[in-house]
């Protein structure tokens, strides 16, 4: 096990756009850290620089207090699992698991023992004599994980390892990776564009956009206190409701005003942030009766679409020009075109600067 430290790590391709801009943080010894963001945000490039598969334009990378910035991948004591399984089709599962050790000159007895332990941990014992073509997608990915596991590296690097699996297998294999990390306690760095994987696997999450780190924190802290509009919109499904407008003081308190709607805020927002974006999660917008006075923030919205997904439903509505998504139980759903009353507790609102996108703390 080892801590991984990035010091102002930067990647620029041929004097072109910046792929990674000055990544500066540490992955703790034994931590499972997830790099997440949309395609092209720089997360895989950052992982490949840690692995030694991409050159670093500037900055330094340390693994276990050792500067590995210019070392070859084989000298970094890491193991990597890719999106593609890359198994040797003519080799059995046992041979695939042990092949890397064989190339490194390990004894047959050592290889057999490591393969056995890895196979037991990943429940591959009954499959050791099968060829890859005789395995399911989930079994092949477990073999790819096992091939990294037998190396007993200081750090595991996983680059979108579940992308080729269907939804059911992604769920079960995700649980397998979490269990494996708990059992091994080895440092893991996991790349994904899937926010569900990030939220359920990561002890901490690094959210990236356009090569820039937007926020680093525990999953629920990021969900509850996004640092900016990008993070607020990226994490969460459906995304956070975001309503742009101007803060205006009235007799009953501050309101958010747009051309065709006014939303009471129930609290004041610093006057220097006159143009803001107010955000609220769909689960924090509640359907109420028209006469319910228990919510300080109340308004009526018109239903555009009712989206039922089994255990829950989403009401897509409109309040003036502001779209509103409401997460509700799937019973007694209104019809499209209906007008419904909605309520929000003031403490559930998020405020962002309309120009910079950065979070604003209310007064």
The stretches of 6-107 forming alpha helices (DSSP H) are 43-51, 93-103
Distance CA 284, CA 102 (A): 56
Residue that the structure tokens 């969900």 belong to: 223
Q: Do 221 and 294 share a domain, yes or no?
A: no
Cβ 208 vs Cβ 43: under 8 Å: yes
Per-residue model confidence (pLDDT) at position 52: 96
Over residues 150-163, the pLDDT tens digits come to 888 999 999 998 88
Q: What is the mean pLDDT of residues 21-48?
A: 96
Cα distance between the two ends of the chain: 44
pLDDT over 70 (residue 268) = no
Q: Do 148 and 221 share a domain, yes or no?
A: yes
Q: Do 160 and 299 share a domain, yes or no?
A: no
Token pair for residue 214?
A: 């937007």
Question: In this structure, what CATH number is given to the domain that contains residue 225?
Answer: 3.40.50.300
Token pair for residue 259?
A: 């051309």
| Structural domains in the chain (count) | 2
Token pair for residue 76?
A: 């970094």
Cβ 217 vs Cβ 240: under 8 Å: no
Q: Do 56 and 35 share a domain, yes or no?
A: yes
Q: Do 221 and 289 share a domain, yes or no?
A: no
- End position of a domain, from candidates 180, 208, 233: 233
**272 pLDDT tier (thresholds 50, 70, 90):** low
- End position of a domain, from candidates 198, 233, 268: 233
- End position of a domain, from candidates 175, 199, 233: 233
Residue 231: φ, ψ to 5°: -65, -40
Question: In this structure, what CATH number is given to the domain that contains residue 266?
Answer: 2.40.50.140
CA distances from 278 to 137, 260, 318 (A): 43, 16, 15
Radius of gyration, alpha carbons of the chain = 25
Per-residue model confidence (pLDDT) at position 270: 55
Residue 106: φ, ψ to 5°: -70, 150
Residue 325: φ, ψ to 5°: -115, 130
Range of the domain at 202: 4-233
**293 pLDDT tier (thresholds 50, 70, 90):** confident
pLDDT over 90 (residue 14) = no
Contacts of 221 (CB under 8 A, 6+ apart): none
pLDDT over 80 (residue 207) = yes
Paired residues of 280 in beta bridges: 241
Q: Do 199 and 294 share a domain, yes or no?
A: no
Q: What is the mean pLDDT of the chain?
A: 91
- Eight-state DSSP code of residue 358: B
Neighbours of 140 (CB within 10 A): 21
Q: Do 223 and 259 share a domain, yes or no?
A: no
Q: Do 200 and 326 share a domain, yes or no?
A: no
Per-residue model confidence (pLDDT) at position 271: 58
Q: Do 278 and 328 share a domain, yes or no?
A: yes
Paired residues of 62 in beta bridges: 5, 67
CA atoms within 13 A on the CB side of 166: 4
Instruction: Out of 187-191, 304-308, 313-317, 329-333, pick the least confident.
Output: 329-333
Q: Do 173 and 306 share a domain, yes or no?
A: no
Q: Do 223 and 355 share a domain, yes or no?
A: no
Paired residues of 34 in beta bridges: 190, 205
CA distances from 216 to 91, 221, 252 (A): 41, 9, 38
Identify which of 73, 66, 67 has the alpha carbon closest to the alpha carbon of residue 47: 73
CA atoms within 13 A on the CB side of 119: 20
Q: Do 207 and 344 share a domain, yes or no?
A: no
Over residues 279-292, the pLDDT tens digits come to 999 999 999 998 88
Q: State pTM to two decimals.
A: 0.90
Distance CA 99, CA 291 (A): 71
């Amino acid at each position: 096990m080892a801590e991984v430290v990035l010091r102002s790590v930067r990647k620029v391709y041929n004097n072109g756009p910046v792929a990674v801009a000055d990544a500066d943080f540490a992955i703790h010894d034994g931590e499972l850290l997830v790099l997440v963001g949309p395609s092209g945000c720089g997360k895989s490039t950052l992982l490949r620089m840690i692995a030694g598969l991409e050159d670093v334009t500037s900055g330094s990378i340390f693994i276990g207090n050792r500067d590995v910035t210019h070392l070859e991948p084989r000298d970094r004591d890491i193991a990597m699992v890719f999106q593609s399984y890359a198994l040797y089709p003519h080799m059995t599962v046992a041979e695939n698991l042990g092949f890397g050790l064989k190339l490194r000159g390990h004894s047959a007895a050592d290889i057999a023992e490591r393969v056995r332990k890895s196979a037991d941990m990943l429940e591959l014992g009954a499959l050791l004599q099968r060829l890859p073509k005789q395995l399911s997608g989930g079994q092949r990915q477990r073999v790819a994980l096992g091939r990294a596991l037998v190396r007993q590296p200081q750090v595991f690097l996983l680059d979108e390892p579940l992308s080729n699996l269907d939804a059911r297998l992604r769920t079960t294999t995700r649980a397998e990776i979490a269990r494996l990390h708990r059992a091994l306690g080895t440092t893991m760095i996991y790349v994904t564009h899937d926010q569900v994987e990030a939220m359920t696997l990561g002890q901490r999450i690094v959210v990236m956009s356009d090569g820039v780190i937007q926020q680093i924190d525990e999953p629920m802290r990021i969900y509850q206190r996004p640092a900016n509009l990008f993070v607020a919109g990226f994490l969460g499904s459906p995304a956070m409701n975001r309503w742009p407008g101007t803060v205006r003081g009235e007799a009953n308190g501050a309101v958010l005003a747009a051309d065709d709607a006014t939303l009471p805020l129930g609290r004041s927002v610093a006057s220097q942030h006159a143009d803001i974006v107010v955000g609220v999660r769909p689960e924090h917008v509640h359907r109420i009766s028209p006469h319910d006075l228990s919510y300080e923030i109340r308004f009526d919205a018109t239903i555009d679409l009712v989206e039922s997904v089994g255990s829950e439903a989403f009401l897509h509505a409109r309040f003036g020009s502001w779209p509103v998504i409401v997460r509700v139980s799937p019973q007694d759903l209104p019809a499209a075109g209906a007008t419904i009353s909605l309520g929000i507790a003031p403490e559930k609102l998020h405020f962002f600067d309309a120009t910079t996108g950065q979070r604003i703390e209310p007064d």
